Structure 1
Amino acid sequence: MKRKTPKKVHIIGSVGSGKTTLARTLSTKMKIPFYELDNVVWIRNKSGDIRRSEKERDQYFNKIIQSETWIIEGVHHKWVSNSFREADLIIFLDIAFRKRKFRITKRYILQKLGIEKVNYKPSFKIYKKMFKWNAFFENVSKPEIINMLSEYDEKLLILKDNSELDKYL
């Protein structure tokens, strides 16, 4: 039996798990727009990012999930529960902690060299924060997310490696 192609996909995982890369790839293959949750939280500005109020963020987010097709990616999980309900497919990128640490360093180098596009100004301060966020995800957020997503078992796909998605699709 062939799976129905999802029209609404939520990708969640830690910094360095490959969320944006996967969202971009799926968006191109499926011809569905993708949204980074960081860009829902922040208004990107050349003079510095401006955080949206919770009300503005939620309005913008709800507008996205009410559209016919979308791919949403991000680490956020507490204020995005509506998208889990609306999604046809939830992909949890459960990539190994050490692999994510390596990717954080690789990303930082590529960003500093101007090879990888970024929505923020890469700095050593942010680089160090990414390791803290990665550890926090592993120890605090990940158990919360697994518990939260347990009610969506029928549409949840947990990947230990991004290449596992090919088997699913």
Structure 2
Amino acid sequence: MKYQKLHIIGGPGSGKSYVARRLSEKYGLPRHDLDDIFWDRNHKEYIRSSEEARHRNLESILSNEAWIIEGVYYKWLEKSFEDADKIIVLNTPVALRQWRVLRRYFGYKLSRSHEKDETFANLVEMMCWNQKYDQDNLVRFYAFSKAQAHKIVTCSSFSEVERAVNA
């Protein structure tokens, strides 16, 4: 693979974790889910980690020679966008993303294997946020990352991502 530092961004249910896992398995790059940095995993509720903890954990990842970072966040990630060889934006249809969010929620509820206690209110909030992601957060991401525009590639499938990282 041509690139060793990849940052994958996209709305909830866009396939970020799936793509990161597949790339990691295929090319042996370590992968990191930004939810593990953003949320304090010592609580069952959704409580944000401190800015200091987020910064420290992100710097620890970025200090490595190779990584895949995936997550929906952007505002506190300027350094990771600068350090990335390629920034992949997953652009999947909203309806597909919503279906995946629903499927994940019910999967968590049925298996009870998720460390957070997902509530119906969490689901509704996520789906509302996901519905407006493309016209709100994604637009702000592009404005925020103008300096890195030459690294950004938009993909809608794993095969497109694979072509982009091997080009």
Short-chain TM bin: 0.7 to 0.9
Q: Kindly, what percent of the aligned residue pairs are identical?
A: 33
- Pair 140,49 (structure 1): closer, same or farther in 2 beyond 3 Å: closer
Q: Which residue of structure 1 aligns with residue 67 of structure 2?
A: 70
User: Which stretch shows the higher mean deviation, 106-115 or 33-42?
Assistant: 106-115
Q: CA deviation at 1:83?
A: 0.6
Q: Which residue of 2 aligns with 1:95?
A: 92
Query: Tell me, what secondary structure is at the counterpart of 1:158?
Result: strand
Size of the aligned set, in residue pairs, is: 165
2:117 aligns to what?
121
Would the alpha carbon gap of residues 118 and 72 (structure 1) be closer, same or farther in structure 2, given more than 3 Å must change?
farther
Determine if the alignment matches structure 1 residue 152 to structure 2 residue 148: yes
Shift of 1:86: 0.3
Residues 161 and 74 (structure 1), Cα distance of their counterparts in 2 relative to 1, 3 Å cut? same
1:47-81 deviation per Cα after TM superposition (whole angstroms, max 9, x unaligned): 55653211121111112112111110111111101
For structure 1, the 5+ residue unaligned runs are: none
Tell me which residue corresponds to 1:54: 51
Please give the TM-score of this superposition, normalised by the length of structure 1.
0.86
Name the counterpart of 1:137: 133
In structure 2, what is the Cα distance between the partners aligned to 1:23 and 1:118?
19
Q: Which amino acid aligns with 1:36?
A: D
**Equivalent position of 1:9 in the other structure:** 6
Comparing 74-83 with 44-53, greater Cα deviation is found at 44-53
Correspondent of 1:31 among 28, 32, 48? 28
Provide the rounded CA distance (Å) in 1 between the counterparts of 2:16 and 2:43. Answer: 24
**CA-to-aligned-CA distance 1:13-44 (integer Å, 9 cap, x gap):** 01010111111111111111111111111231
TM value normalised by structure 2 = 0.87
Structure 2 unaligned residues grouped into runs of 5+ = none
Aligned partners of 1:48, 1:103: CA distance in 2, in Å? 22
Cα displacement (A) at 1:46: 6.2
State whether residues 13 and 75 of structure 1, in contact with CA within 8 Å, keep that contact through their aligned partners in structure 2: yes
